[in-house]
Amino acid sequence: MPPRWFIRTAWVVHRGLYRVTGGRLGLRRPTTTVYGMLRLRTIGRKSGRERAVIVAYFEDGPNLVTMAMNGWDDAPPAWWLNLRAQPLATVVLPGRARRHVRAREAEDVERERLWAVFRTLENDGSDLDALAALRSRPTPVIVLEPVEATR
């Protein structure tokens, strides 16, 4: 596992690449073997301001699925805390397509099924279950369901 400073630097570079290229680089569609990257736009639970983050995802029918992890750090990511407070969000997919979504945490059988899909995707040669074991609680699997625009 790389040191925390390295992971945070990689995130900053990734967001910068997206911003500098006007969104032409930094996102990708998922395949059957590699997760995709999307831009998730939430509303800050304390500030009320729009926040954006790039997260890994795959498609499950009409839904988009991601994991609420913070570089495998134990603390939940701010974007997940924002979605728990306000589940309506917007995602930007590769090619600049936007989709309004409602977030919810997958539970029980659904969570296990979706976790198994993440296990099959390329994850930088890491063992997903071993990385998840570094956390004191299960890593939430987040389902982003499409909704009509409401904001």
The pTM (predicted TM-score) of the whole model is 0.84
Every domain of the chain and the residues it spans: 4-146
List pLDDT tens digits, range 59-99.
999 999 999 987 777 888 999 999 999 999 999 998 878 99
The span from the CA of 130 to the CA of 92, in Å, is 30
Would you say 89 and 80 are in contact if contact means Cβ atoms under 8 Å apart? no
Structure tokens at 87: 């589940």
Whether 144 and 91 have beta carbons less than 8 Å apart is answered as yes
DSSP letter at 31 equals -
- Three-state DSSP state, 21: coil
Its CATH class, for the domain covering 4-146, is: mainly beta
